[in-house]
Amino acid sequence: MLHHEGSSFHPLAPSALRIEHLLDRAPAQVDVDALRAHLRKQCVMLTGAGGSIGRVLAKKLLDLKPTKLILVDFSEFHLFRLEQSLRKHNPDIELVFKLVDVRHTTAVDQLLDEHAPQVIFHAAAYKHVPMMEFHPVQAFENNTLASVNLLRAAEQHSVEQFIFISTDKAVDPSSVMGTTKRLTEWYVRAANGTMRTKTVRFGNVFGSLGSVVPTFIEQILEGGPVTVTHADMERFFMGVDDACCLILQTLLYSTAPVFTLRMDPAVKILTLAQRMIDVLAPQKDIPIKFIGVRAGEKMREQLWSANETPLTTPHRDILGLNGPAIFSRLELDERIDFLQALAAAQAQERLKTALFEADFVAQTS
């Protein structure tokens, strides 16, 4: 929950603002010794390594000392910045930086053939909900098709574990971004062979690029107004350290196909905005402006669907989510082929409609 108004609180520089300053919840912690033992002599690959989560996760992976860490990103700038940051930290671990678009199957196949990773963390994705409403082809190709191609390649190259980073927006989705993540969750669940596949489902990652927190900081420093979509809109929040803990700790668990963090209660965006104003500009009268719910957004998110059952895990902050597999691999392959044809034809609106058709079996059989 948010700190009460009577809590002792001191103004902070924006760069020092952290989730624990606004929520009464300490960051989740990983079992470092168990993870080091698990990753010892392992080659690990991380996609989206230059993003908000990827950069922090890469540093935490270095601390766990795998034999080799392959860091993949499609952004030249993000990959360069990551390399500059990591090279000086741990020279005794083999670091490989690869500028690769995971949508390209040949490049992915060559990458796995050359380095033979045993563990893949797949974090690369488009995540901006309103923007993806207007770019369904790009959302499908980057969030779903690239993930499918990477998973298929991982199966062919005998990868041991494949961990997919998803979002609460995949639960009963109202957005294109959410539907692309939901479809990928289904596909990860239906993987072939002996490879262990898991999905970790995030809430809103506090302070990540493009998220509400950096936007609010910028608006507060400019004197406002701070733009809030709706007075009653709520979100689940987690810190970057929480997100990395969830991803890493899940390596040790096999009791459920999906894992998520305990993030109750959800936080009203309006309350978050008010609290950030109190922290960053306590002596100023910063106005708040309501701008209306944007395309694809829900008033409230869910961490699991009606057919999923939350289960405890050995970690107090992590829940497993168990439920039936929705579709078979054959059904999903047929659907992916259908959607890929629409994407190839740049049929934006038809593809957008098709992504929401969860009962697609009759249409593809």
Hey, which residues are catalytic here? 169
List of residues 6+ apart from 33 with CB closer than 8 A: none
Nearest by Cα to 305 from 185, 164, 175, 172: 172
Sign, CA torsion 100/104/110/113: positive
Sign, CA torsion 314/315/321/327: negative
- Token pair in block for residue 158: 């005998």
* CA–CA separation, 8 and 146 (whole Å): 47
Task: Provide the β-strand partners of residue 321.
Answer: 258, 310
